[in-house]
Amino acid sequence: MSGITADDAMAEAPQERQGDSYLTAETGLASWLLTTDHKRVALLYAAALTAFFFIGGAAAVLIRLELFTPASDLVSAEGYNRLFTLHGLVMVWFFLVPAIPNTLGNFLLPLMIGARDLAFPRLNLFSWYLFMGAGLLLLAALLLGGVDTGWTFYTPFSTGYAHSNVLLAALAVVLVGFSSVATGVNMLATVHLLRAPGMGWFRLPLLVWSIYGTALVMVLATPVLAAALLLVVAERAFGLPIFDPRQGGDPLLFQHLFWFYSHPAVYIMILPAFGVVSEIVPCFARRRIFGYTFMVYAILMIALLGFLVWGHHMFVSGQSLYASLVFSFLSFVIAVPSAIKVFNWSFTLYRGQISFQAPMLYALGFIGLFTLGGLTGLVLASVPVNRHVTDTYYVVAHFHFIMVGGAVTALYGGLHFWWPKITGRMPPDGWARFAAVLMFFGFSFTFFPMFVMGFLGMPRRYASYPPEFQVWHVLASAGAVLLAAAYLLPMGYLAWSLVRGRRAGDDPWNATGLEWRTASPPPRDNFRVPPIVEEAAYLYHPRHEGPRHEEQEPHRDQGGGT
Amino acid sequence: MSGDVAAALREPWDSLRRQREAAEFGVWIFLGSEALLFAGLLLAFAVNRTLHPAGFAASGRETDIVFGTVNTLVLLTSSLAMAVGSEAARAGLRRLALRALATVLLLGLTFLVLKGFEWAKDLREQLWPGAGFRLAEPGARLFFGLYWTMTALHALHLAGGLAVVGWLSWQGWRGTRPLGSPAFQVAALYWHLVDVVWILLYPLLYLGGRA
């Protein structure tokens, strides 16, 4: 009932209702820096993350330039170490981990469950300041000469031998971890306690579920990383022996603690991407998501199993072979829920009424690249093959397929999908489709050759290499140019669309979901009338029929009434 | 009291009951996170204790059991005072609440002061695992590496708790924070966690090797 009133209000008001959107409700710098509006905090995060994406990306460009020739001619071996450490630190903790949860998640989570804001709005802002503080610490570490340990801070090198700013970088990572935990607590409390009337657990959109799973992992894994890095700080700064083998310590203990966080961190990066794709695919296939409940359980299963597979990073560390076999088995097991998700997206497409708008192209690209990344993960999870390809470009290719081909592609897809909601303007679809296709090919040209050269034995983390690998490196470096263009292009046309883009209606994609039942951009309090939910998610067509193929099936509003 | 409720209510909540539920839920999640932080250190302790049982037993005999035990009592009592304070605040008993919170502050400070004396004594007895470390047993250096790290991290948490309780008491005393605010229960939960961590550290650091 109330939903009808909200719809009527929207129908009456023309699109010129910018005066009271969240973007214009208050003005001035302080209204942004002191805001507790989850939508504005999301944009603050987006601005900060864009800056870090440029920094980490610049390092990647330098790496690819250096590797264009076999000799170490652009940077020294020492400088190369600092480059890839910079790239890893920035991209993992200051871009990928917060990328989707803190921007799209922050913006959409309250909207999708029909809430006015996150449960703890001031904590949300506080977590951004923690993030910025950590970011400045990291930048200080980089400006003072960088770090050369790799993003993994392995002992005893990091504690006893590295002559670089390990302490500053480790403290930055500990601090950004607190920001992660604050975000996680906030999201969990929001999903538990702020769902609109009628929004039961199994009516939640899958993006909400995936952020819920991510938040669980963030809250439970991040503190262990903090513990491990604090021990590194204690040993390096105060000489308190913990991992030092000369004093009886066990350096492998660090690896166990580190990967206990850092493997679940992979799922922190990829689970929100699953959520984004699960929103886009049904919308552009005009089809209910296939196997909603299984998708939910798959998310929770991944979040749980993610904690039990860390040892597959340590197959060659000398850990017990029996431990390796168990970790190998569990790593195969965790592929099952991931495969369920891929199959369910494919079945959602089956007999769907598919249109290839830009967000859908990104989502389809995601499915392909993620599948390849996941399958090569199985190759790596088998102990004997792992011995062969450990520390080669095969590993580099594998995790870039997941994190870049997967998470970043989904981020760009989600950005295009929700851009009209965030800004009130449509992205130019022609350019956006071009960028999506370019990203797929640029990515494939960059990273697929790495599988080949890695399998042929090219080790990672070297500035110079035998000349027989040059052809693969040249391919990768050339692909990186395309990929960089595909990443920069949307920044250009999205900025252009802010001024010249076509104005978006409330629901430009004919999508389900409460976020589309309010104005674009939404008002400060998200909904003029608090929504009441009466239907499950993704009702793109009646329950027992497929979508019609002649014309688009008018979907029923999720929060909209009767 | 309805004005009191309105003053304690914050965005985006419609009812104080729901807001309190969320605050307690949030802090429980945070405590789970904190538990895993200390769990990482406790795991490091457990691993090294298994690798060097004799060294850890010998080191456990070197820590100062008097300071440790007195501090345990001080901290447990402070938790009692904290429980009284938070429940009194919820019930609107202003004087009792403020007195109990003042007791918490006093006992927390006592703990830190005693800890400071204990650390000074440890340093005099050359229990810092650097140059001139007194013990020769293998593993003793690791024990004291963890001893200093864990007690320092615990003290840091306690200091944080003191800051929070001090701030809330100040606001409660000035009347700028209504006693119905969920913050008092939240602070109490955190304080109890700091207490629980110490209850784990006490037997590991002070009783091992003394049985």
Check if B164 contacts A (Cβ < 8 Å): no
Rounded Cα distance, B144 and B141, in Å: 5
Check if A246 contacts B (Cβ < 8 Å): no
**Is residue A13 very low, low, confident or very high in pLDDT (cuts 50, 70, 90)?**
very low
Q: To probe the interface with B, which of A109, A175, A178, A193 has the most B CB atoms within 10 Å?
A: A193
pLDDT of residue A6: 42
Domain segments of chain B as ranges = 36-207
B25 to A118: CB separation less than 8 angstroms, yes or no: no
Compute φ and ψ for A425, nearest 5 degrees.
-125, 145
B22 to A120: CB separation less than 8 angstroms, yes or no: yes
What's the Cα-to-Cα distance from A343 to each of A294, A371, B164, rounded to whole Å? Answer: 11, 10, 50
Q: What is the pLDDT of residues A402-418, one digit of tens each?
A: 999 999 999 999 999 99
pLDDT of residue A541: 84
What's the gap in Å between the CA of A556 and the closest CA on chain B? 28
**Is residue B210 very low, low, confident or very high in pLDDT (cuts 50, 70, 90)?**
confident
Homologous superfamily of the A2-7+51-517 domain (CATH): Cytochrome c oxidase-like, subunit I domain (1.20.210.10)
Lookup: tokens for A158: 């990091």
Q: What is the pLDDT of residues B25-63, one digit of tens each?
A: 999 999 999 999 999 999 999 999 999 999 999 999 999
CATH 1.20.120.80 fits B36-207, yes or no: yes
Rounded Cα distance, A398 and A401, in Å: 5
pLDDT of residue A544: 73
Residue A52 has pLDDT above 80, yes or no: yes
Query: Which residue among B12, B39, B148 sits closest to A240, beta carbon to beta carbon?
Result: B148
Tokens 């009516």 belong to residue: A203
Q: Are A162 and A78 in contact (CB under 8 A)?
A: no
A220 to B139: CB separation less than 8 angstroms, yes or no: no
A227 to B37: CB separation less than 8 angstroms, yes or no: yes
Tokens 């604050």 belong to residue: A182
pTM of the model: 0.93
Check if B48 contacts A (Cβ < 8 Å): yes
Question: What percentage of chain A reaches a pLDDT higher than 90?
Answer: 87
Per DSSP, helices labelled H in chain B are 2-8, 16-51, 53-60, 65-91, 94-124, 140-174, 183-202
Instruction: Report ipTM for this prediction.
Output: 0.94
Domain segments of chain A as ranges = 2-7+51-517
**Is residue A18 very low, low, confident or very high in pLDDT (cuts 50, 70, 90)?**
very low
Q: What is the pLDDT of residues A244-301, one digit of tens each?
A: 999 889 999 999 999 999 999 999 999 999 999 999 999 999 999 999 999 999 999 9
Name the A residues in 471-500 with CB < 8 Å from any B CB: none
Check if A322 contacts B (Cβ < 8 Å): no
Q: What is the pLDDT of residues A338-365, one digit of tens each?
A: 999 999 999 999 888 899 999 999 999 9
pLDDT of residue B43: 96
Cα first-last separation, chain A: 7
pLDDT (average), residues A141-145: 92
Check if B141 contacts A (Cβ < 8 Å): yes
Tell me the DSSP string of A520-539. SSPBTTS-SS-----S-S--
Q: What is the pLDDT of residues A200-223, one digit of tens each?
A: 999 999 999 999 999 999 999 999
Closest CA to A258 of A150, A144, A141, A396: A150
**Is residue A12 very low, low, confident or very high in pLDDT (cuts 50, 70, 90)?**
very low
Residue A548 has pLDDT above 80, yes or no: no
Q: What is the pLDDT of residues B37-46, one digit of tens each?
A: 999 999 999 9
Query: Which residue among B18, B25, B142 sits closest to A247, beta carbon to beta carbon?
Result: B142
Tell me the DSSP string of A399-425. HHIIIIIIIIHHHHHHHHHHHHHHHSB
User: Is the Cα dihedral A532, A537, A538, A542 positive or negative?
Assistant: negative
What's the gap in Å between the CA of A226 and the closest CA on chain B? 7
Rounded Cα distance, A203 and A535, in Å: 7
pLDDT of residue A4: 39
Residue A531 has pLDDT above 50, yes or no: yes
